[in-house]
Every structure is written in structure tokens, then in C-alpha cells.
Structure 1
Amino acid sequence: MLHLFQTYLYSSVLSLAAISVFLRMGFLLKLCLMVASVIIHIILYRYMDLFNDPHYDKFSAIPLEVKSALVLTVVVIFFHILDRQIEFTSRTDYLWKAKLKVEQEEVETMRGINKILLENILPAHVAEHFLASRDTQELYHERYSCIAVMFASIPNYKEFYDESDVNKQGLECLRLLNEIICEFDKLLLKPKFSCIEKIKTIGSTYMLASGLRPGEEENSTEASRKEEHIIVALVDFAVSLMTSLDQINRDAFQRFKLRVGLNHGAVIAGVVGAQKPQYDIWGNTVNVASRMDSCGIMGRIQVTEETAKILMNAGYPCECRGMTYVKGKGNLTTYFVKTPFDDK
């Protein structure tokens, strides 16, 4: 009879273990089930004669009923503590994983924001270089044998700018200039102008370059085609700038005109500064392009003789201006590229 009782008791302990280990529910609900199981065990023992052993009770001061209840109570307490600890660990682990996921998403978001901000001030390939490099003090530079550079300015904006009460101390003038620059920036998003990079704006002067692509110097077997492509792209972009400015003039009742200078040749491109990096290009090509703008005529695109030859070979009509004095360069033969805005 005693062996039968022990078997029954062990079976009850196993049932409690099964409730604790295999049921996926809260520890309080498990506690309720285990208490209910113990109560059922005690009821079965009390009201069934199967486990009564009068001989055992003679030699033991503690009845089997009490012993079984004590054993099951201790087992329930043990499993309850274990369940509570496991649930606490699981909840903590879940919270840590959730927090880690949120932090990782925030890191990815910030990384994306940083990339967007960096690409707004640096070309995409330069931004990738700085995002991948840990050494922010490293000098980044590249040499290009053929780059087209363009300066597009609005000379009569200075006459328009006025810090009077009517213009809110120049705020309205600045707002209009911002609208013009934003419209120019939108043109760069067009696929046909993907080879063009905005370098910077200096007041009302817009500076751009085309052909700034890394790794093309070593395997550039089609140099002449590339040369023609980057120059033609800038001329087309200049015409688009004039078209956009003409529309703004109609909307704002203004008479702004672009003066464009263009040149091509070798340049050095690089980034200066670590905390506030600025991408820029240097070289004689840049200086001459700037002079083509400053000594040009409003509403016209002025280019050097070498650039004009390439444009004429590409089917773009050019008009010889003749010998023009260029500051720092002396007299140079320059050309005007004919556009629909020449007579306006």
C-alpha cells in the first residue's frame, strides 16, 4: 500500500512539474493550477480508501495525508518561485530586446539623416568616402584631366536688393533669391543632368561642374566623347536655368537675367575642413570659367575658344565675340553660345 501511495505522490509531483514547465502562461495562473491540483490530490486521498494504510499510521506520528500535503506544498512553492524567476527573466529579456531594436532603428534613422545631410553639401561619392572612413582628418582630393566648369550669375540682383521697410530690411529680396536658387537646384534632379554637381553659391552666383566622377581617369578610353558630353550637359543646363529664371520673372514681375561663363580643362577637387567640410575645385580652368562670367554679357553664355570648338562640332552654334580682355589672362578669343534667350 505504501508503494502505491508513493507512486501516486510522485505522479502528482510530475503533474505539477508539467504545469510549471510545459504550459506557456503567466506564473500566477500556473500557481492557481498547481494549487487546484494539490487540492484535488488531498480530496482524493481523504475520501478514497485506496491509500489508507493503518499499519503505517501506527509507526508514524505524521499521517500520510499530512505528509503528502506538505510535500506537494513545498513542490508548489518551489515551482512557483522558479516560474516567477523565469517569467521575470523572460520579460526583462524581451524589454532589453525591444529597447535594443528601438535603439538600432534610431541609429539607422540617424545614419540615414546624416547621409542625406552630408550628400547635400558633398557629392554622393565623396559622402560615401567620409561615411566609410574613420579618419575625418584625412585629406581627400582627386585630380581630373577634363572637367567642365560653369558660373551663372544674376548681375542685376544687386540693383534689386534693397534693405528698406518695404522689403522688410531685405528679407523679401532674400526670399526671392532663395526661390530662384531652389528652382535651380530642382533642375539638378533630372536624369539628363546627373553628371552635373553643384559646387556652391556665392551670393547670386551659381557654380557648377560636370564630369566629377571618381575612377574615370584610369580607364577613360573615350576621352573626346566624355569631353563633349560634359560640356553639352552644362550648356543644356544653362539654357534650363534661363528658362526657369524667365518663368520666375513672369511670376514675380522682375527682369532678372543670367550671365553665364563656361570653360573646361584640368582641375583638382577636394574637401577642406573637418567639422564643416566643404567640397570645392581649384585650378586655372576654374579661374577662367569665373572670368568668362565676370566679363560676359547678361543673357548670354560666354565660352573660351577651345570650348566653343567642341560645342560647334556637337552642333551648337556659337558666335565669335573677338578678343576680350580677361583679368589675369590678358586678351582671349571668346565666343557666345547662341540660345533662344539671346534676343530677349
Structure 2
Amino acid sequence: MSTLSHQLIVPSHIEYLLVNQDLLIFEASSGVQRFVDPPYEPLEGKQISDSFPELIGMEDFLIGILEGQQDNFDLKGIGRFTEDGSALYFDIYVTLRQQEANQDNCLVFFIEDVTERMVLEQKLVQASNENSLLADNLVVSQKYIYQIIQSMAAILLVTTPSGKITTVNQRALDLFKYRETELIGQSISILISDHNFLEQATQQHPLFNQLLNNIPVICYAKTGERLVIAFSCSAIQTELEELPSLIYVGRDITERQRTQRRLEAQYATTHILSESVTFSQAAPKLLQGICKSLQWDLGELWIPINGNQEGPASERLRCAETWVRPSVCIPDFIQDYWQTTFAPGMGLPGRIWITGSPQWFGDNFNTHQSLMLKSVHRGKWHTAIGFPIQSDGKILGVMTFFNREMQHLDEDLLQAMANIGSQIGQFIKRKQAEEALRHQQEQTERLLLNILPEPTARRLKQKPGTIAEDFAEVTVMFADIVGFTEIAASLSPIELVELLNQIFSAFDRLTEKHGLEKIKTVGDAYMVVSGIPTPQVDHAEAIAKMALDMLESIAQFNTNNNQNFSIRIGIHSGPVVAGVIGIKKFIYDLWGDTVNTASRMESHGIAGKIQLTPATYKRLPEQFLCEKRGTISVKGKGEMTTYFLLGRC
């Protein structure tokens, strides 16, 4: 394939030659030799005028074209006789071809076989007697073509090269809502707003194949309605006209575009909701996604709020989110929106809220002052649409959208918006259910952690069953209210429980303060341990600090409540087994001799005193002040030496 055919699209009935700066032929198409005089001789390297004598004397003119001093030109009606004696006619079109920066420009000679046309012209000249009949036939043909044009289902427009409309069919008149007299002689830009498309159409040359085919173009009807037409445009040259006519043939694809945008809006909604954790996170993206998919300019989200009064009648709609196309200028837009609310039935959001169904408003909606915000919307919009966000019959919010362009009622879009509203409503309900479930799980988790240490609770959730662990170094403390039976007899059950709750709640706060693990309360007894579930070196010291704080806490309680409670505290250090047993009403508990000994220290103690075993006494640092009690008889243990913890040094 030749170099030129790689770079240009040349119609099959046109041949070509490339001529250099010296007017020597250096490339030719395969069929060009039949136009050469004499025919079928080698061409490359020959002077162009040697093969085409008609160019003799025009060398300076050709050089002028190469140097950019002359315009392109053509020679028409050049005649030859072929070897069999038949006539051959052709036209030559000469133009400049700009080469790369490092190459010289060259001339392109396009040669078009016009034998049939020339023969026909000669016959027409010679057959003067037939002129009248041909003219009559032409009139009939024009009428026939006009009827065909008017009955076409496609849109047909014919314009001059400058874009003036000369022909328009009935389909175009019906679609664009014009009369024929209103369009003939007008610029085609009255219908087509895409100036780039019109510019490309006017640059077409009738010699070359059609360049613009099935191009979607934005158009506007007389009513202002926005239409999308798929136009194909061709430039056609006739012998009766010096300049080519531009023929536009189009199909109305507005509905197809609307369907595609509806699907895009539904897809955008599904995609945004699938990637959003909460509705507040999804809302601005939904407004933007729907506006961009549908090519609308403004989107709003309205949510119900309660007024100053109680009951449904006090509910109003407040603007919670907006999105506006950057090219749209709305002064004081945000401030007006955040200050605006609508009652049911008032304004566009309120009307949708009260009806519970999607609403569409055309160009006349600006006359309904109750539907619009006077300071923001008035005069800016020509179309509005809105839909409720609802689930299970309950309206959770309203979305409204506005367009500066006039659009006719689209029932399919209303249905699509209703589906989107239900989809968003289901999302909100699902997220509310997930949040309620999460809150319930958190409450369950907190309750479980009030019963069990965190590591034990985690293990029990992963693998239910018996849990038991050995701890070699812990300190166990028991505390008991002295004379609780006598106190209980003098108080009502409710008063007694309230007092115990105050005391044990204070002890619970001390447990958290010192990082200890509360095991349980039995009646008026309180049990706590240090070194479980996480081992710690200073377990005895931590228990000692809490024991001293407990004495201070009970003293403060007595002062605040005019009571005379006192407690006994017993402490012992050593190994224990800790865990959970059973399958119902399980608790975290301790077993072992250390637990029994700590309990004996409490029961054999003295009111208002903290009694220690030697094991705990030895583990306390010097900053604690202790006193040796002496040897006492302990049930189940025999004789034991014990100590009292008096305070800190």
C-alpha cells in the first residue's frame, strides 16, 4: 500500500499523484496511468507536464502553490481517447500537502473520472429537443423527493455551507415544535447547540467520505425542551450549485438517553450505599451522584424534626444536605437553606411528605409560591422533581432536585425515583437495626465484663465450656460489715439495699482505681483479688492500698448518712485456681487454700481492722505500717501469727 493511502482516506473512484518541489512525480496510485498521455507509461521521475500536457505553461502557478503564494485549483473536463477509441474525461484537483518539519512540501493531484458525467452533459447539450421533457421530469422528481422527505421517520435538515436552513421535513417540525416558515432561512444553531459539531459539519468536502456519522448532539425545541439527536452529516455537491449543501439526518435518542441516565442514577445509588457506613456519610454523595447521572443542577435532602410542641403535628422538614452544580450561581444559597423549614403540605418538600409519592413540576411551578423558596429558587429553575425516602410506609425524609432546563413529564423517571427512595429507606432502616444490634452487643459486652474478667470473657465467647487457670502469686481480700444482722433488723428491705448499694458501689470504684478484680459479693461480704487475670508483681501492695481506702470510704459513708457501720478486712497471699464452671448463671470464682485462709483472716479479725497473714506481711514494702497481733487460733488452720495493717508510713 502506498504512503499516501496510509495517511489519507481516498475514495476508490479517485486516483492521485504526488509531485515534489521540482515538479517530478515520486508517487502515484495504481490506476492513474490510464489518464496519462500517452497512457500506461512509467510515471515516477517524470515531469508532471510530460504526462499531462494540459499543465504545460502552468509550472510557475504550481510552484506558487508549493510556496504558499497561490490557492489550490482544479482543471475540469480534460479529455482523452482510449486505445479502443472511446472518450475519457477527468477532473484534476491540485492541493498543497504539508510534510514533516524535516521534509519538503509536495503537491497532491487528485484525478476523478468524470467520463459519465461529461458524456451526459454532451448528450444534454446535443439533445436540445429533450430539454423540455427533462425539465418536466425534474419537476415531477422534485415533488416525489419532497414527498419522500416529508414522510421520512428520521429528521432531515438541509443547510447552506454557512448553516442557513433550506429544507426541513415534517418529522423535524413535529419534534422541534416549529412551523416551516419559522425555520427556513434561519441558522441551524437555533436547533443545535453543539457548536463544535456544526463547525466540523461545515468543514466537510464532498470529495471525501462522510466524516460525521451517528453523533449524539444536544438540541432544543421551541418550547425550550432539551432533546438528544443522533445526527449524521454529509456534504453534497450538485452541478446546479457552486457550493455543497449540508444534509443532516437524525434520530431522536432522547428517550434512550433518559433510560441510560435513569440506570446510571440507580447504579450510582446502589454503589454509594454499598460503600457507606452511615446515611449521613452517604447523603452528600447520593445528591451529587443522582444530579450528575441525570444532569440536574441542584439536589436537596430534607429530614423531619420536632417543633416546640409535642405530637406529630409539630413535625417539620429541615434541609440537612444540599449539592449544587459548580456552574450554577446561587447568592446566599447555604444560609437560606439552613434557616428554612416546611410543615406537612407546605413547599415542594412538604407536598411530597404529605402525599408520600414522587412529584414532578414543569415550567409553571415558579407560579406556585408555596412550592418554592422565594429568595433562592424563584426564576432559576424550569423543572423540579422530588421523592420520599420511606420504608414500611414510614417517611424518613424527602429528596428534591431542580433543573434549569425545561423537561417534559417523565413517568419512568418518577418510578425510578420512587424505587431509589425505597432503596435509601431500606438502607436507613438496615443501618438503624445494625446500630441497635451494635448497641445491644455493647450492653451485653459490658454486662459480661461486669461478671467476668476481659480475657476470660473473650475465651468463653470463642469456646464455651469450663475455664480454669492456675495463678501462683495473688493476694485475696475479704471484707465484711460488722453487726450486719442487727442493722438489717432495724431497716426496711429497700433502705437496707440502698445502703449496701452505696457502700459496695464505693468499693467497686476503688477496685477500678487500683486495677483489681472484684470476684463477688455474698450478703454483706465483699471479695476482691489482685494478680488476676493479669499477673502483677505488686499484688500485695495493691490490695493493701485498697484496704486502707475502704476504711476511709466507710468512715465517709457514716458521716454522710449518720450511720455507724464498721468493717472487718482479712488478706492472704498465695496460689489459687480461677475460672468459670457450669453452664447457667456462671460466675468467675477462686478456689484453693489461699481463698480459705483470707476468709478466715476476715472472720477472725477485729472491727475496723485489716488483718494480714505472714505471707502478705512479707510481700509488703517498707512504706506500709504494720503491727504484729500475735498468735491466734484459726478454725481449720490451728495456731497462726497475724498482723494488722495500720496505714502508710
TM-score when scaled to structure 2?
0.39
Report the CA distance between 1:29 and its aligned residue. Answer: 3.5
Q: Gaps spanning 5+ residues in structure 1: where?
A: 34-75, 217-225
* 1:236 and 2:545 aligned: yes
Q: What SS does structure 2 have at the residue aligned with 1:299?
A: coil
Higher strand share: 2
Cα deviation code 1:113-152 (max 9, x no counterpart):
1111111111222223334x1x43x111211011110001
Q: What SS does structure 2 have at the residue aligned with 1:338?
A: strand
Q: Aligned partners of 1:314 and 1:129: how far apart in 2?
A: 39
Which residue does 1:44 correspond to in 2? Answer: none
Q: What SS does structure 2 have at the residue aligned with 1:127?
A: helix
* 1:260 and 2:569 aligned: yes
Report the CA distance between 1:205 and its aligned residue. Answer: 1.1
Q: Gaps spanning 5+ residues in structure 2: where?
A: 1-145, 156-170, 172-228, 230-249, 262-293, 297-356, 364-407
* 1:329 and 2:637 aligned: yes
Q: Aligned partners of 1:106 and 1:171: how far apart in 2?
A: 33
Q: Aligned partners of 1:28 and 1:170: how far apart in 2?
A: 64
Cα deviation code 1:15-39 (max 9, x no counterpart):
2333454336797639x79xxxxxx
Alignment of 1:287-326 (within 5 A): 287-311=596-620, 313-326=621-634
Conserved 8 A contact 2:530-2:540: yes
Q: Aligned partners of 2:421 and 2:562: how far apart in 1?
A: 67
Q: Aligned partners of 2:494 and 2:422: how far apart in 1?
A: 56
Cα deviation code 1:61-101 (max 9, x no counterpart):
xxxxxxxxxxxxxxx99x74x54553444333223222221
Moved more, 204-213 or 19-28: 19-28
TM-score when scaled to structure 1?
0.71
Which residue does 1:140 correspond to in 2? Answer: 467
Q: What SS does structure 1 have at the residue aligned with 2:563?
A: coil
Alignment of 1:180-199 (within 5 A): 180-190=503-513, 193-194=514-515, 196-199=516-519
* 1:124 and 2:124 aligned: no
Conserved 8 A contact 2:453-2:533: no
* 1:151 and 2:478 aligned: yes
- The alignment-based identity, stated in percent, is 32
Q: Aligned partners of 2:506 and 2:616: how far apart in 1?
A: 27
Q: Aligned partners of 1:256 and 1:205: how far apart in 2?
A: 13
Cα deviation code 1:259-305 (max 9, x no counterpart):
11000111111113334221111110000000000001111111111
Report the CA distance between 1:112 and its aligned residue. Answer: 0.6
Sort the Cα spacing of 1:183 and 1:18 in 2 relative to 1 into closer, same or farther, 3 A: same
Q: Aligned partners of 2:619 and 2:638: how far apart in 1?
A: 23
Which residue does 1:29 correspond to in 2? Answer: 360
Question: In the comparison of the two structures, how many residue pairs are matched?
Answer: 273
Superposition RMSD in Å: 2.7
Report the CA distance between 1:209 and its aligned residue. Answer: 0.1
* 1:212 and 2:532 aligned: yes
Sort the Cα spacing of 1:27 and 1:294 in 2 relative to 1 into closer, same or farther, 3 A: closer
Largest Rg, 1 or 2: 2
Alignment of 1:51-130 (within 5 A): 80=411, 82-83=412-413, 86-130=416-460
Q: What SS does structure 2 have at the residue aligned with 1:339?
A: strand
Conserved 8 A contact 2:360-2:414: no
Report the CA distance between 1:12 and its aligned residue. Answer: 6.5
Conserved 8 A contact 2:358-2:418: no
Amino acid at match of 2:507: F
Conserved 8 A contact 1:27-1:83: no
Amino acid at match of 1:298: A
Moved more, 285-294 or 324-333: 324-333
Q: Aligned partners of 2:470 and 2:295: how far apart in 1?
A: 66
Q: Aligned partners of 1:275 and 1:85: how far apart in 2?
A: 54
Which residue does 1:16 correspond to in 2? Answer: 255
Conserved 8 A contact 2:472-2:576: yes
Q: Aligned partners of 1:258 and 1:141: how far apart in 2?
A: 31
Q: Aligned partners of 1:94 and 1:17: how far apart in 2?
A: 26
Conserved 8 A contact 2:570-2:610: yes
Q: Aligned partners of 2:584 and 2:414: how far apart in 1?
A: 52
Report the CA distance between 1:257 and its aligned residue. Answer: 1.4
Which residue does 1:55 correspond to in 2? Answer: none
Q: What SS does structure 1 have at the residue aligned with 2:425?
A: helix
Amino acid at match of 1:101: K
Q: Aligned partners of 2:625 and 2:586: how far apart in 1?
A: 40
Q: Aligned partners of 1:294 and 1:24: how far apart in 2?
A: 82
Q: Aligned partners of 1:272 and 1:283: how far apart in 2?
A: 15
Moved more, 177-186 or 4-13: 4-13
Report the CA distance between 1:251 and its aligned residue. Answer: 1.5
Q: Aligned partners of 2:527 and 2:626: how far apart in 1?
A: 22
Q: Aligned partners of 2:602 and 2:567: how far apart in 1?
A: 10
Conserved 8 A contact 1:321-1:336: yes
Q: Aligned partners of 2:260 and 2:360: how far apart in 1?
A: 13
If asked which structure has higher relative contact order (CA below 8 Å, sep 6+), I would say: 1
Q: Aligned partners of 1:322 and 1:187: how far apart in 2?
A: 30
